[in-house]
Structures are given as structure tokens and as C-alpha cells.
Amino acid sequence: MGNKPMHKVLVVDDEEPILELLKYNLEKNGYEVKTALDGAKAVDIAKRFIPDLVLLDIMMPKMDGVETCRQLRDLPELQKMFVVFLTARSEEYSEVAAFDIGADDYITKPIKPRALMSRISALFRRDSKKTSPSNIITIGDLTIDRTSYTISVKGKEINLPKKEFELLYFLAQNPNKVFSREDLLQNIWGTDVYVLARTVDVHIRKVREKIGEDYITTVKGVGYKFTQ
């Protein structure tokens, strides 16, 4: 009692009983919680609340979860935030779309509160273990600052979604070392989340579009490396 909440969580779902269930379980586990019944309201709340994690339904009226996630990821102050999709849809293309837009996890309904709390704890635990001798990496015209989750190319600041940033930072920490897709999945997404291998390719392509083609090299039949 009297302890500050561990982390702030925003729950977004168009079904009030689900919001109430998740809010109750999250608060019982020490989280500070806000809720929203639609994506537009979620974006508005997130700008003021600055959540550490968003639990986001995909199938919602007005604005679906994928578009909501896209708008949240565009906000510079939310670059460190986790996004976990909650959905009744289990088709592979829905899962691919979720991870492509920057999701950290994808959980199908019906929701089991204890399992969900475990997945959330695993995300925060893995994030707390990510340490580095230096939070700033400068190579050529590229500067990567893990403290602010920003990068700059030739002095121009660029904001990357969380997973794109972590992928670039990890590769840049290990220049000229080749990593397979499986290596990158394990180091960036972790073993607690099942992610398709093509998700790595999509994230690499998006990073290249923003920083240029010179930094990340494809090693055919093996994987990727950061070229110094």
C-alpha cells in the first residue's frame, strides 16, 4: 500500500465488460490504468497520459486498432511505449499486420487475465534488462540515442517506432556481425512472443527507407549486418 504504480497502461476496447475486467486485473497488479472505448479517444488520452503500454483491440468502430497504433507510433513522446493487440481474429494476415505496424505482442480473445499479466510482466522485464555501455552510437552521419529513442542522419532528427529503433540499435551495437532472422527475432522480440520471420524483413525495409541503404547489408541466405 502507498507504493507508486509500476507502469501506466492504456486499455482500448469497444466492449465495456472487457475494459472493466482488464482495468480491475491491472490495478490489482499495481498498474495505473486509463481506458478508452474507441481509437480516436485512445489517441487523445495517450497524448496526456503517456502510457508505458497500450492494450489495443483491433476490431473497433470509427478507427480500428491498426490505424490507432499507427497514429500512436507517430507521436514522438510515445516511442518507448509497448503495444499489445487484443483480438478475436486469429488469421495469420491479422497477426502480420499487427507486427508490421509495430506491435510488441498479439493476444487472441477470450482473454485469460493471469496469462495476460504474465505476458505484460515479461515485456517490462525484458526491457529493463537492455543495458549498454553507451546509450549513444555515432557512425558516420548516423547518430543513435537510446536515451531519447531518437536517431539523426546528417543532423536531421528522425523518429522510429520502438521495434524499428531497437532493431537498428542492436545491429549498430554489433557492427559487421551477421545475424540471422531467428537471431534478430530472439534479441528484439524475445522468446515470449511468436513472430513470423518476415516481420524482420519488413522492419529492415522500413529502417532503410528512413536512414538510407548504406548501413544495413543483406547477406544472402544468412541474414543482415550493420556495415561500419
- Domain assignment of residue 160, given as a range: 136-226
**Residue 128 has what pLDDT?**
61
Q: Are strands 53-57 and 8-12 parallel, antiparallel or unpaired?
A: parallel
User: What tens digit of pLDDT does each residue of 127-146 get?
Assistant: 665 544 458 888 888 999 88
What amino acid occupies position 209?
A: E
**Residue 61 has what pLDDT?**
81
Euclidean distance between CA atoms 47 and 52, whole angstroms? 12
At residue 156, φ and ψ (nearest 5 deg) are -95, 125
**What is the CB neighbour count within 10 angstroms for residue 103?**
29
Are 149 and 203 found together in one domain?
A: yes
User: What tens digit of pLDDT does each residue of 46-83 get?
Assistant: 999 999 999 999 888 888 888 899 899 888 888 788 89
Are 119 and 148 found together in one domain?
A: no
Whether residue 186 lies inside any domain: the answer is yes
User: What tens digit of pLDDT does each residue of 107-126 get?
Assistant: 888 888 888 998 898 888 76
User: What tens digit of pLDDT does each residue of 13-34 get?
Assistant: 999 999 999 999 999 999 999 9
What amino acid occupies position 188?
A: I
Whether residue 155 lies inside any domain: the answer is yes
Euclidean distance between CA atoms 228 and 221, whole angstroms? 21
Which residues make Cβ contacts (< 8 Å) with residue 138, sequence separation at least 6? 144
Q: Is the pTM of this model over 0.85?
A: no
